[in-house]
Amino acid sequence: MFLRHSSACRQQIFPLLHLILGVAFHILVAALLVERLRFEQVQNEELVRYIETMEWEHKEERTKFNEYMDKIRRYFPHVEKLLPLIDFCRNTLNFSERLIQELCKLKKVRLKGDFYSPEFNRKFRDESAAFSFEEDKNRKGHYHICVNDIPLVQWFRQKANEWRNGLGIISTR
């Protein structure tokens, strides 16, 4: 009789035990998820503080940079106008940094060699060319590259005419 009773008990207890274990498992998973959520919230708050710090530092750096740029514009107003000339000298004429620095001091730099003209898509040779950055007489505050006191474009055209004349080609102008 004890065995029969225990078998009936077992049939009632096992489903109940299974249900209790299932509920306990779900409670444990829920607790782990809640803990994971708390961890991620703390991590998120730390990231938000880090981003706020980085934004504040960036704002400070931008302020310093803008103040620095304002000083440059105030004390060296021609610098911004020279930037395109610097790029042309570096990228087209292949001048060295040292040469460009001298030109930016508004000094004449004497060179010899081949100089590329994008207008004529060729190089022109000169044995004693004095390059300089000169203020444009027609536009105050603007600069252009000069060679032997002639604007670069005009100098290249002059060189092209000399080259054509050397080949016996008569200019149409």
Return all residues near 113 (Cβ < 8 A) that are at least 6 apart.
125, 126
More confident residue, 2 or 95: 95
Domain spans in the chain, listed from the N-terminal domain onward: 1-75, 79-167
The CA distance from 120 to 167, in Å, is 15
Do residues 151 and 145 lie in contact, with contact meaning Cβ atoms separated by under 8 Å? yes
Q: What percent of the chain has pLDDT over 70?
A: 92
Predicted pLDDT at 80: 87
Show the tokens assigned to 150. Answer: 């002639």
Do residues 118 and 92 lie in contact, with contact meaning Cβ atoms separated by under 8 Å? yes
Show the tokens assigned to 32. Answer: 């782990």
The CA distance from 79 to 67, in Å, is 16
pLDDT over 50 (residue 1):
no
Q: Give ∠ CA 131-105-86 in degrees, rounded to 5.
A: 60
Q: What's the pLDDT tens digit per position in 116-152?
A: 999 999 899 999 999 999 988 888 888 999 999 999 9
Q: Give ∠ CA 114-118-119 in degrees, rounded to 5.
A: 115
This prediction's pTM: 0.62
